[in-house]
Structure 1
Amino acid sequence: MEKEFKISFEAISNYESLDATEKKLFDAAKKIRENAYAEYSHFHVGCAILLENGEIITGSNQENAAYPSGLCAERTTIFWAAANFPNVKMKKLFVIGASKEALSSTPIPPCGACRQSILEYEAKQKEGIEIYFASLDGEIFKTKSIRDLLPFSFDASFL
């Protein structure tokens, strides 16, 4: 039996189409991207998370010569938010990634490890986190939940 799965996302035409909060998140992710430590890949990523209490948490990717020791911007930001605001829901997550010298790029979605981590926090808070992934010049895609990007997910129900 063959089944088809659809990935659900919304293409947002440009930065000007965002509301004020979404623009703040875009700007915060773009700015923190400049702090990425990406000496090996030269691929800089910034992430901004809006918490239910209105706080905006930011983070960037941090590499290491021992590649598995580095951490993506999304997980840097999520883990810091969860450690410092353990009972506050994450509402929106914005990610912007591109090579260091890029003037524009294609929107880059979270990698598999980051998708799995986001899934864990969606399960913990019992609701989705809106995920926005954007290019530097404002091309933006949005999903209502990481499950839209991870249709065959592994969670605690399998344990």
Structure 2
Amino acid sequence: MLTQKTRPSGNVHSSSYRRILHALIPLTLGLFVQVASAHAPSHADKPRYGGEVRRAGDLFLELVVEPNGFAVYARNERGRPVLLADMRAEALLWTDQGTQTLSLRRVGGEQLVASAQLPEAGNFRVIISLTPPASEQRRVLFGPLSLANAL
């Protein structure tokens, strides 16, 4: 007479797989939440003063073109203003006539301004360089810009 081997209910291997699966589900969901929050849109990349916003490392710079120059504002990734008082700041204006280094002067703690004769016709570009204390330089290019489109 043949005897059949009896198996216990639930395969030993399937219970191991279930335990692994139950451990992986929270881990996978946790990773998904972290990735989704890391790529969540930031409010810092929206212009607050009517200018153009560009990312410069961990800062967001907004360049606002005015008739006699431009202003620069900085925000962190959460959209909060960044104090620019301790930063070394430079600007380079690049037009069809050549380049010009501009001095940026601080107005309050959160704004830099530069006086410049911007071309009335044609495009120009502006390179802003900021160097925070004990950190590396952040450089960002704005443009092509046009005085006619900015005002």
TM-score, normalised on structure 1?
0.27
Higher Rg? 2
TM-score, normalised on structure 2?
0.28
Determine which structure has the larger helix proportion and give its number.
1
